[in-house]
């Protein structure tokens, strides 16, 4: 995190699909230098990212929709769903992103200040949240037997616009290289939750 007022490290995670048609993070960009939420949002919503955004996919994209961060990370995270022409699209629901309510409940929450932003068509395919890994880990009880906290479980609130049902419940459509799963406009997560993996 930068010492400048309101300026923080900023990441953009973009969702695509793997060879089996399941959702995954296909691009991760890290802005150098750090900036404010408002400036980052304006750049992300622009026609294309500026050179300040560096590709760090290999460092931060883990399995499926899991994210990898250092234990010292304090940052603003943006997540963007794909924009496809079609009857149905997947967008962020009202809850956007939540901590999983499992023991022990973390008092200060893993994800903070969650927001989603409407596109020109009114769909909410972009969201942001603040992540403070040291604070989240520090708020938890220390595990027994010398174990370390290495995973923070979260869940995206996805919803498909054609039926109002989360794609988490759905099986991917049959597809080939000539007819990818995105042909129907939505995504298909491999599971119901995601992890922030601490390195």
Residue 111 lies in a domain: yes
Q: Is 56 exposed, middle or buried (0-12, 13-18, 19+ CB in 10 A)?
A: middle
Integer CA distances (angstroms), 38 to 8, 55, 76, 120, 175, in order = 11, 21, 11, 18, 39
Residue 4 lies in a domain: no
State residue 83's pLDDT score.
Answer: 80
Does the global pTM surpass 0.85? yes
Residue 128 lies in a domain: yes
Residue 2 lies in a domain: no
Span 47-58, pLDDT tens digits: 889 999 999 999
Q: How many domains does the chain have?
A: 1
Percent above pLDDT 90 for the chain = 59
Residue 113 structural domain: 9-198
Angle at 100 between CA 155 and CA 55, to 5 degrees: 40
Residue 1 lies in a domain: no
Residue 75 lies in a domain: yes
> Of residues 153 and 140, which shows the higher confidence score?
153
Span 88-134, pLDDT tens digits: 689 999 999 999 888 877 766 899 999 999 988 889 999 999 999 99
Residue 46 lies in a domain: yes
Average pLDDT, the chain: 87
Residue 118 lies in a domain: yes
Retrieve residue 146's tokens. Answer: 């010398």
State residue 183's pLDDT score.
Answer: 45
Could you tell me the pLDDT band of residue 85, with boundaries at 50, 70 and 90? Answer: low
What is the pLDDT averaged over residues 165-178? 70
Integer CA distances (angstroms), 50 to 46, 55, 153, in order = 9, 12, 31
Beta strand ranges found along the chain (DSSP E): 9-17, 23-31, 53-55, 67-69, 74-80, 90-99, 111-117, 126-132, 151-160, 194-198
What is the pLDDT averaged over residues 155-168? 90
């Amino acid at each position: 995190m930068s010492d400048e007022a309101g300026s923080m490290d900023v990441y953009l995670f973009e969702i695509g699909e793997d060879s089996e048609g399941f959702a995954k993070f296909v691009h991760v960009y890290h802005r150098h230098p750090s900036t404010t939420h408002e400036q980052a949002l304006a750049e992300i919503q622009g026609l294309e990212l500026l050179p300040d955004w560096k590709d760090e996919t290999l460092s931060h994209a883990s399995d499926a929709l899991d994210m990898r961060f250092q234990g010292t990370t304090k940052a603003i995270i943006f997540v963007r769903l794909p924009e496809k022409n079609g009857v149905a699209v997947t967008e962020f629901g009202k809850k956007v992103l939540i901590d999983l309510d499992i023991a022990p409940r973390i008092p200060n929450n893993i994800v903070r200040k969650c927001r989603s932003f409407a596109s020109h068509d009114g769909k909410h395919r972009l969201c942001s949240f603040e992540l403070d890994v040291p604070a989240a880990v520090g708020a938890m009880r220390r595990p027994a037997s010398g174990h370390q906290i290495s995973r923070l479980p979260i869940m995206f609130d996805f919803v498909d616009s054609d039926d109002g049902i989360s794609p988490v419940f759905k099986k991917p459509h049959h597809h080939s290289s000539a007819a990818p799963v995105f042909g129907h406009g939505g995504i298909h997560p491999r599971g119901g939750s995601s992890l922030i993996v601490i390195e």
